[in-house]
């Protein structure tokens, strides 16, 4: 029995065990008095956060740290070689007043895996400062700095093993994106790229092609309106694409065999075009919430969508009038005996009550909370109107059965037509046509005005001549009358 208990104790101790942090006063180091040292097993941490530091203290050479925390201070610069010969995995300089980082600030730093420079006042950053830590750096966060421009291509070139990159709210424009063209080979380690809350406007030129193993791309809260259908085609493992809160009007016909979550909420989408998800082979969730002008959906929009993987289509807070516009999708679900609630139409204030809402109840998410309008502007819970629509027939899909709508060749054609180059040419032609129309209208108006003036002038001259002749006739008449009176 004793041996049994010993074996249990041995197994327990052999499992992963997180030792508690043990406080140490750091008196053995020449550091500011408010800095604190912590030890956990063979890991040590130095915490000098929120103690009004104005500079980074010099640390003893060849010391091994798990983390150095200098956040929430008044540090304005990172000077040359301040971390030389220091072994540290995590360096936190967030929430200071950093304005300059010397190009050799991180030279000879050892084993650095995580670097946090977010929430500072950096207006420029030289990627060459990352050459030394680049051999090991896995997480880099430079978010919330007023940079305006950042050489992303050079950053990814130097950080060859980087797994997560964050440049949120840095006022970046497309000029920063175009630097990705500097990448001449695949970056196989990057998993997450976050460029949200910037000033990006387009996603063209296959800029992300070298991020072969990327899992998540966050581009929400920009001003993106132009997207190439091929822009994620080379990302073989992409799972999540966030394009929410942009200026997208036209839904791209994206091509991806791995994408699972596509967020297009809070854009300016008005119309859902043909075959928009036909080449999203693994799609699970598509979010169209809060596109307040979205009220029209093509009968071919859901052609070839993979209903075997699809889990949710969200159209909340839009302007959908009728469930009928989803008939291709709903009939496809019915035909394949899929019983899962997939479609979320809640909070569409103009949604009309009709038989389809009753017939396809099982496909509607939160059905008992779903409201619709009946008899003008009256709003009802559709679940309370079952008696009103008790005579509805359930053969909608049969009555709507027409010629085969979905053609794969048309889906492939749309992919090609959705490249940035084609879209830009289309816009240029549209602009030229508008200019021609304005020029033609101006010419017509000008000619019409000249014609009117000429005709008016001619009419005036003719009128004057007629008036003169009339006066002459009147004069002759009075002359003969006068002679007659004299004769009498």
Which of 138-152, 374-388, 472-486 shows the lowest per-residue confidence on average (mean pLDDT)?
Answer: 472-486
- Nearest Cα neighbor of 45 from 22, 72, 79 is 22
Q: Where are the domains of the chain?
A: 20-191
Please indicate whether residue 98 or residue 357 has the higher confidence score (pLDDT).
98
| Nearest C-alpha neighbor of 360 from the set 401, 318, 388, 389 | 389
Beta bridge partners of 36: 47
Rounded to an integer, the average pLDDT of 368-376 is 86
In the numeric block, the tokens 């995995």 are attached to 89
Per-residue model confidence (pLDDT) at position 358 = 87
Q: Are 274 and 297 in contact (CB under 8 A)?
A: no
* Residue 143: band (very low, low, confident or very high) from pLDDT cuts 50, 70, 90: very high
Q: Identify the CATH assignment for 20-191 out of 3.40.50.970, 3.40.50.150, 3.40.630.10, 3.80.10.10.
A: 3.80.10.10
What average pLDDT does this structure show over 9-22? 47
Please give the Cα distance from 19 to 45 (Å, whole number): 13
Least confident of 211-215, 265-269, 373-377: 373-377
Residue 68 has which token pair? 């150095």
pLDDT at 446 over 60: no
- Please give the pLDDT value at position 486: 55
Q: What is the pLDDT of residue 488?
A: 54
**Residue-level pLDDT at 385:** 83
Cα dihedral 326, 328, 332, 338, rounded to 10, equals 0
* Residue 400 confidence (pLDDT): 62
CA angle 220, 221, 225 (to 5 degrees): 85
pLDDT band at 267 (very low <50, low <70, confident <90, very high): very high
Q: Is the pTM of this model over 0.85?
A: no
Over range 417-443, report the average pLDDT.
Answer: 54
Alpha carbons 45 and 40: distance in angstroms, whole number:
8
> Is pLDDT of 175 > 60?
yes
Burial of residue 37 (number of CB atoms within 10 Å: 0-12, 13-18, 19+): buried
> Of 124, 176, 174, 171, which is closest to residue 154 (Cα–Cα)?
176
Q: Strand 77-78 vs strand 87-92: parallel, antiparallel, or unpaired?
A: unpaired
Are the C-beta atoms of 202 and 224 separated by less than 8 Å?
A: yes
Which residue, 115, 110, 93, is CA-closest to 163? Answer: 115
Using the predicted structure, report yes or no on whether residue 404 has a pLDDT greater than 80: no
Does pLDDT of 468 surpass 60? no
User: What separation in angstroms does the CA of 89 have from each of 65, 86, 98, 452?
Assistant: 7, 10, 21, 84
Identify the burial level of 354 via C-beta atoms within 10 angstroms of its C-beta, where 0-12 means exposed, 13-18 middle and 19 or more buried: middle
3-state SS string for 411-453? HHHHHHHCCHHHHHHHHHHHHHHHHHHHHHHHHHHHHHHHHHH
- DSSP single-letter state for residue 352: B
Calpha distance 355→370 (Å, rounded) = 14
Distance (Å, rounded) from C-alpha 139 to C-alpha 115?
6
> Alpha-carbon torsion 467, 472, 473, 477, what sign?
positive
Query: What is the average pLDDT across 138-154?
Result: 97
Residue 337: its pLDDT value, please? Answer: 85
Alpha helices in 268-395 (DSSP H): 327-335, 355-359
């Amino acid at each position: 029995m004793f041996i049994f208990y010993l074996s249990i104790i041995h197994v327990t101790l052999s499992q992963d065990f997180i030792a508690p942090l043990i406080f140490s006063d750091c008196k053995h180091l020449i550091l500011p008095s408010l800095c604190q040292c912590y030890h956990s097993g063979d890991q040590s941490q130095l915490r000098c956060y929120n103690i009004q530091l104005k500079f980074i203290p010099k640390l003893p050479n060849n010391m091994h740290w798990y983390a150095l925390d200098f956040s929430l201070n008044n540090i304005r610069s990172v000077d040359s070689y301040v971390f030389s010969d220091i072994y540290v995995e995590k360096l936190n300089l967030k929430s200071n007043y950093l304005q300059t980082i010397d190009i050799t600030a991180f030279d000879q730093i050892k084993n650095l895996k995580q670097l946090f420079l977010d929430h500072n006042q950096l207006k420029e950053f030289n990627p060459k400062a990352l050459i030394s830590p680049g051999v090991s750096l896995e997480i880099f966060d430079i978010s919330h700095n007023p940079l305006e421009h950042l050489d992303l291509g050079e950053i990814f070139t130097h950080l060859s093993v980087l797994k997560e990159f964050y440049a949120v709210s840095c006022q970046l424009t497309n000029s920063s994106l175009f630097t990705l063209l500097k990448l001449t080979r695949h970056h196989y380690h990057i998993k997450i790229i976050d460029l949200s809350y910037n000033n990006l406007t387009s996603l063209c030129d296959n800029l992300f092609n070298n991020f072969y193993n990327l899992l998540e791309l966050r581009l929400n809260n920009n001003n993106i309106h132009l997207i190439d259908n091929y822009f994620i085609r080379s990302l073989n493992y992409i799972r999540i694409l966030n394009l929410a809160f942009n200026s997208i009007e036209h839904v791209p016909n994206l091509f991806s065999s791995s994408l699972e979550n596509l967020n297009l909420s809070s854009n300016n989408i008005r119309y859902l075009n043909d075959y928009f998800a036909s080449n999203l082979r693994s799609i699970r969730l598509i979010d169209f919430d809060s596109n307040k002008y979205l009220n029209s959906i093509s009968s071919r929009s859901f052609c070839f969508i993979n209903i075997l993987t699809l889990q949710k289509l969200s159209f909340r807070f839009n302007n959908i009038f009728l469930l009928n516009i989803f008939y291709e999708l709903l009939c496809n679900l019915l035909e394949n005996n899929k019983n899962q609630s997939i479609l979320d139409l809640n909070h569409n204030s103009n949604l009309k009550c009709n038989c389809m809402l009753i017939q396809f109840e099982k496909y509607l998410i939160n059905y008992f909370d779903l409201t619709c309008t009946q008899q003008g502007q009256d709003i009802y819970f559709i679940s309370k109107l079952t008696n009103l629509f008790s005579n509805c027939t359930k053969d909608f899909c049969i009555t709507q059965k027409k010629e085969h709508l979905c053609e794969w060749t048309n889906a492939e054609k749309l992919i090609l037509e959705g490249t940035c180059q084609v879209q830009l040419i289309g816009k240029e032609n549209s602009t030229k046509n508008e200019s021609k129309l304005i020029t033609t209208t101006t010419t017509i108006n000008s000619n019409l005005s000249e014609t009117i003036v000429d005709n008016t002038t001619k009419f005036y001259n003719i009128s004057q001549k007629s008036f003169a002749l009339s006066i002459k006739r009147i004069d002759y008449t009075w002359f003969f009358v006068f002679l007659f009176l004299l004769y009498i």
